[in-house]
Amino acid sequence: MNPKGYIVVLEDDPLIRPLLERWLSEVGYALAPPGQAAEAKPILVIADVPDPQSAEALIGSLREYAAPILVVSARFRRGLAGSGEAAHRLGVTKVLPKPFTREELLSAVRESLEGAT
């Protein structure tokens, strides 16, 4: 186990998940080992939410990780105002609208981690 903790990536899309993992690992973030997310010491959870309107149960289950939550979804509006409002409404650290760039993801991760300290 990584003593500094792992980032848990919960993304079902078989094309998007490896891309997110690559972007994160390229800059030095440790990722939760496959199948061991529950045992990992997460510093951040990144989760895809297909429908933010009915995401309450999913987000509630993510709280068991006791880590900041960064939610990504194609249903979020672009722009800070829409994203900030959505994060507050969902009770998560940050939201990131899809599609996003590598730089946008890494910035959201940094902001999520900085907000947790």
**pLDDT per residue over 38-77, tens digit each?**
676 899 999 999 887 778 888 998 888 889 999 998 877 6
- Residue 12 tokens read as 């079902």
Hey, which residues does 69 pair with through a beta bridge?
45
Measured on CA atoms in the order 112, 81, 9, 55, is the torsion positive or negative?
positive
Residue tagged 């947790």 (tokens)? 116
Model pTM score: 0.86
Question: What is the enclosing helix (H) or strand (E) of 6?
Answer: strand 6-10
Superfamily holding 7-116 = Response regulator (3.40.50.2300)
Structure tokens at 19: 């891309």
State mean pLDDT over 9-24. Answer: 94
Q: What is d(CA 90, CA 74) in angstroms, rounded to the nearest whole number? A: 15
Band of residue 96 on the pLDDT scale cut at 50, 70, 90: very high
Burial track 9-29 (b if 16+ CB lie within 10 A, e otherwise): bbbeeeeeeeebbebbeeeeb
Q: What 3-state class would DSSP assign to 57?
A: helix
**What average pLDDT does the chain have?**
84
List the domain boundaries for the chain: 7-116
